[in-house]
Amino acid sequence: MGTAHIPAQIGDLPPIGRPANSALLEAGITTLEQVAATGRSTLLAMHGVGPKAIRLLEAALAERGMTFEA
């Protein structure tokens, strides 16, 4: 199944691409707070989340004065 049914953007997350959004939704992650708590290495291990998505998420976290916790 493709990712056409996945929204282009989820909650307060930046647009990071449908494959990454699909992975985050599958893990129940819909907010930047949850992204920060999950951590960079765990996110990178998810199928569909690559370095570009991590950079976009990190920039969005920084805009809100947040960082990856793990």
Whether residue 23 lies inside any domain: the answer is yes
The pLDDT of residue 53 is 96
The pLDDT of residue 2 is 62
Structural domain for 33, as ranges:
18-63
Whether residue 6 lies inside any domain: the answer is no
Whether residue 24 lies inside any domain: the answer is yes
Q: How many domains, in total, are found in the chain?
A: 1
- pLDDT tens-digit profile, the chain (70 residues): 566 677 777 889 999 999 999 999 999 999 999 999 999 999 999 999 999 999 999 999 999 999 998 6
**Residue 58 is inside which H or E element, if any?**
helix 51-63
Whether residue 38 lies inside any domain: the answer is yes
The pLDDT of residue 6 is 72
Whether residue 45 lies inside any domain: the answer is yes
Whether residue 9 lies inside any domain: the answer is no
Whether residue 35 lies inside any domain: the answer is yes
The pLDDT of residue 70 is 63
Buried/exposed code over 24-40 (b: 16+ C-beta within 10 A; e: otherwise): beeeebeebeebbebeb
